[in-house]
Amino acid sequence: MEKEKYLSPVLETLRHYPLQAGIEKAAGYAAEYAAGIGARPVYPHGEALAELEQLGGEVPEQPAATDEIIDILGHAGSDAAVSSTGGSYFGFVMGGSIPAGMCAGVLSSAWDQNAAKYAMSPVANELEGICEKWVTDILGLPAGTAMATVGGSSNATMIAITAARDALLARKGYDAGRDGLFGAPEIRAVIGAGAHPSVYRALSVIGLGSGRVEEVPCRPDGSMSADDLPELDDMTLLILQAGALHTGAFDEIRPICEKAGRAGAWVHIDGAVGLWAAASENLRHLTDGLELADSWAADAHKGLNAPYDCGIVLCRDRSALTASMGGADLSKIDVSAGTSRRDNMDYTYEMSRRARSVELWAVIKSLGREGIGQMQDELHAKAVYFAERLAGAGFEIMNDVTFIQFGAHWQDDETTAKVLKTVQDSGVCWMGGAEYKGKFCIRICVCSWRTTYEDIDVSADEIIRAAQKPR
Ligand SMILES: Cc1ncc(COP(=O)(O)O)c(C=O)c1O
């Protein structure tokens, strides 16, 4: 029987779609959004959020026209987007997206590369290898350090401490990859009491338990001092922080790493917020001793202002990382196109993934070592300026502005919360709230390359107005 040559009417329609025009249409909306970011409310208002309803409803039974989809996203989607790539967004630790990174992302979407293996995408694997060399050099890490891109620092820390776990257990002749953790020798996890929640989560996910960690008491700014460390040993995983979430404070990296090194402990540094300080001559003292650690997590989508989905895991001992992540027999996937080139999937738990290093490469190339350092200096200077503006109006600034974040308190917790709500509703700027030293604060982080001193003045004026004339 002759096999029917089935053709899907839906796919036939798509094959006739003028793709170039469609991409230009989408790019038109993207360009309009990006160029007009300063005129948008910083946080979408109620009407814009209600518009999102258009995107829901029952499962679409029939196909929709591509142009219609682009139009919905170009209007309802853009209207509901948070303007974190603009200059007046100061929430969390977000970072904007510098032009080369944003544009590279557009191109990379069209390439749609699978970055898992060199055989699947030479460009995605070569660029990640190049970024490995550049990032380790910019951060001053040991030559030969392995690097891979991941979704974010949560993932980076989870992967790095999995490599740490396996390497520590291997010292006792135990193969955790093969035998699991049943009956495994004990590992001590020692972390600062100011560690980010993602660190507890990573410890929990990899079977080291978030509840059995040894917490080291921290200074009021959330940083750890070498004097407070417990005795360490060669079965200890010690996790430090470069840049505390709310205060930007850095642990005493060098003396802590030196103690840990003498004891044979594995040191991981959560540098989601602060690792890029190492690129600045003026701020590098904050990360002094960074190179003594064994593994690091960083976020290019934060202080480097790369587009989102660009976390970075780094590990001094390449074979510890690849043994832990590539331990399974990955040759089963493909034996036809063997190559001696880097395969990204050997370095993290992911196989198929997008080519994050396209944007990372573009951002590093665009800024250069000089620009990356200057960006850290400028973000820091602007955070200091912002804090001074608020302090001048009577706000209590809760921390030294070590890096790019600070908390500001007004009168009492309730009044501060009201001021924050008024500011958030204004659409002029956006920032969140946090508790510092037992007081509720307006929490501000200056993390976007787009932020100007004028943006800060306008935002500070809005906060001061809200405080002095509560609505
Ligand atoms: C100190 C710290 N560590 C880890 C993370 C988690 O990073 P990500 O959101 O990229 O997973 C954050 C997020 O802000 C952070 O501030």
Q: What is the pLDDT of residues 92-133, one digit of tens each?
A: 999 999 999 999 999 999 999 999 999 999 999 999 999 999
Where are the chain's structural domains? 18-85, 106-366
φ and ψ at residue 267, rounded to 5 degrees: -110, 125
- Any atom of ligand 1 within 6 Å of the Cβ of 273: yes
Residue nearest to atom 16 of ligand 1 (CA): 245
- Any atom of ligand 1 within 6 Å of the Cβ of 246: no
- Any atom of ligand 1 within 6 Å of the Cβ of 93: yes
- Any atom of ligand 1 within 6 Å of the Cβ of 196: yes
Nearest atom in ligand 1 to the alpha carbon of residue 152 is 10
pLDDT of residue 463 exceeding 60: yes
Cα–Cα distance for residue pair 191/202, rounded to 1 Å: 12
Distance 14 CA to ligand 1 centre (A): 40
Residue pair 54/80 in contact by the 8 Å Cβ criterion: no
- Any atom of ligand 1 within 6 Å of the Cβ of 152: yes
| DSSP of 402-455 | SSSEEEEE-SSHHHHHHHHHHHHHHSS-B-EEEEETTEEEEEEE---TT--HHH
Residue pair 255/249 in contact by the 8 Å Cβ criterion: no
Distance 198 CA to ligand 1 centre (A): 7
Q: What is the DSSP letter of 292?
A: G
The partner residues of 439 in beta bridges, in order of sequence, read 436
Residue to substitute in 157, 196, 247 for testing ligand 1 pocket (most ligand atoms within 8 angstroms of CB): 196
pLDDT tens per residue, range 393-422: 999 999 999 999 999 999 999 999 999 999
Distance 154 CA to ligand 1 centre (A): 6
**pLDDT at residue 54 in the model:** 73
Residue pair 53/418 in contact by the 8 Å Cβ criterion: no
Tokens at 116, concatenated:
């898992």
- Any atom of ligand 1 within 6 Å of the Cβ of 41: no
Distance 249 CA to ligand 1 centre (A): 14
Cα–Cα distance for residue pair 456/460, rounded to 1 Å: 6
Q: Tell me whether strands 432-436 and 439-445 are parallel, antiparallel or unpaired.
A: antiparallel
Q: To which residue do tokens 């038109």 refer?
A: 28
Residue to substitute in 90, 94, 150, 154 for testing ligand 1 pocket (most ligand atoms within 8 angstroms of CB): 154
- Any atom of ligand 1 within 6 Å of the Cβ of 299: yes
Q: What is the DSSP letter of 33?
A: H
The b-or-e profile of 178-188 (16+ CB within 10 A means b, else e) is eeeeeebeebb
Residue to substitute in 150, 153, 191 for testing ligand 1 pocket (most ligand atoms within 8 angstroms of CB): 153
Cα–Cα distance for residue pair 240/191, rounded to 1 Å: 7
- Any atom of ligand 1 within 6 Å of the Cβ of 154: yes
Q: What is the pTM of this model?
A: 0.97
Residue to substitute in 159, 161, 198 for testing ligand 1 pocket (most ligand atoms within 8 angstroms of CB): 198
- Any atom of ligand 1 within 6 Å of the Cβ of 40: no
Q: Using 50, 70 and 90 to split pLDDT, how confident is the model at 469?
A: confident
Q: Using 50, 70 and 90 to split pLDDT, how confident is the model at 470?
A: low
Nearest atom in ligand 1 to the alpha carbon of residue 244 is 1
> In CATH, what number does 106-366 get?
3.40.640.10
pLDDT tens per residue, range 297-334: 999 999 999 999 999 999 999 999 999 997 666 666 66
pLDDT of residue 471 exceeding 60: no
Cα–Cα distance for residue pair 145/35, rounded to 1 Å: 38
Distance 298 CA to ligand 1 centre (A): 8
**pLDDT at residue 4 in the model:** 83
